[in-house]
Amino acid sequence: MEPIIKIQNLKKSYKKRKAKEVIQAVKGISFSVNRGEILGLLGPNGAGKSTTIKMICGLVKPDAGTILIDGINNQDKRLKALNHISAVLEGNRNIYWRLTVRENLEYFAGNRGASRKEVAEEVASLLEKFRLKEKENELVNRLSRGMQQKLAIAVAMLANTDVILLDEPTLGLDVETSYEVRELLRSVASEYNRTIIISSHDMDVIQDICERTVIINNGQVVTDDKVENLLRLFEVRAYKIALGGLLTERQLLLLEQKFPHYTYIPDTFQSSLEVDLEKSEEIYDLFDILKLESTVVESIDRKSINFEQIFIKIVKGEAEHEMAQSS
């Protein structure tokens, strides 16, 4: 099936107002988004995520490259392409702060030209699904951040677009509401077959609900893979070893040469050593180094790695070997 969004070689530079300096925010980004998929768009601060999202929504004009939305070029046929997208960006500007929850839902449902009966049914179902019923007559500006966020997502759903773009959907939410929003997003994608693109710094949320992630760094895509694959790829050869004493200078030097990204926490009674192996066989090299000074190995465990740690490795460029071996 054709992807719902296809981005090819997208570029965008900004000119700084006073200085003559040009900032290349996006330097040739390409990726696709499949229908019904929840995709995480990640990257450190300033990587180019917001610029990319704004170009997809037609808020910023690219210098080069194409964005096809359901096969329609969003430069040539802007309105037709944008009919497929709704966005909940920073500050939830897609809802009216001086209207109540119910008024917002009725307004946006009515906007689509639905009949009174349809509007009433849809509003009732969304109030129920998003657990907003008890606050239906509350003004938006008096709601908690979590309630506002749920309403903003409900309103984005009302537009009936194929794609919903969300910028930091769980930012500032308490744990319980964050889980509720995650659950809602999962069901929006599966029950209503919507495609969701999430930009977030919360790796827990990404690991929890995204099937695939596109990681951007310095204006370029550095990883485009399923979350599951990345977790498997990185988990498999990370070891945590408890040692019955300290390592010597000589051992540390050899470790540095063989496993440049090792972590060593010295302790006279029980030191800890964490090593990422490129190949499983390298465990023997590690044992050779330990054997040199007859270091006692008290335990050896597979280190569990979460998505946040993987993200940091990828962004710091420490992941080249893992990525190269998987491709």
Ligand X SMILES: Nc1ncnc2c1ncn2[C@@H]1O[C@H](COP(=O)(O)OP(=O)(O)OP(=O)(O)O)[C@@H](O)[C@H]1O
Task: Match 């330990």 to its residue by tokens.
Answer: 290
For position 45 contacting ligand X by CB under 6 A, the verdict is: yes
CB 104 → ligand X: shortest distance, Å? 26
Of the candidate spans 44-52, 108-116, 141-149, 264-272, the one that interacts with ligand X by CB under 6 A turns out to be: 44-52
Closer residue to ligand X (CB): 48 or 62: 48
Token representation of residue 311:
């993200």
CB 308 → ligand X: shortest distance, Å? 15
For position 251 contacting ligand X by CB under 6 A, the verdict is: no
Among 10, 38, 39, 48, binds ligand X (CB under 6 A): 48
Which residues, other chains included, contact 109 with Cβ-Cβ below 8 Å and sequence gap of 6+?
118, 119, 122, 123, 158
Among 14, 97, 107, 179, binds ligand X (CB under 6 A): 14
In sign, the C-alpha dihedral spanning 172, 143, 92, 121 is positive
Site for ligand X in 141-180 (CB under 6 A): none
Closest CA relative to residue 10, chosen from 35, 41, 45: 41
For position 50 contacting ligand X by CB under 6 A, the verdict is: yes
Closest CA relative to residue 275, chosen from 264, 289, 288: 264
Closest CA relative to residue 10, chosen from 71, 54, 72, 52: 52
Of the candidate spans 2-10, 48-56, 205-213, 286-294, the one that interacts with ligand X by CB under 6 A turns out to be: 48-56
Closer residue to ligand X (CB): 51 or 178: 51
What is the contact mask toward ligand X in residues 191 to 230, using x (rule: CB under 6 A)?
Answer: ----------------------------------------
DSSP 68-120: EETTEETTTTHHHHHTTEEEE-TT-TTS-TTSBHHHHHHHHHHHTT--HHHHH
Among 31, 49, 178, 213, binds ligand X (CB under 6 A): 49
CB of 64 closer than 8 Å to CB of 57: no
For position 55 contacting ligand X by CB under 6 A, the verdict is: no
165 to 55, 196, 219: CA distances (angstroms)? 12, 6, 19
Closer residue to ligand X (CB): 47 or 319: 47
CB 298 → ligand X: shortest distance, Å? 42
CB 51 → ligand X: shortest distance, Å? 3
Of the candidate spans 38-46, 142-150, 232-240, 288-296, the one that interacts with ligand X by CB under 6 A turns out to be: 38-46
Q: How far apart are CA 281 and CA 286, in angstroms?
A: 9
Binding site for ligand X (CB under 6 A): 14, 23, 25, 43, 45-51
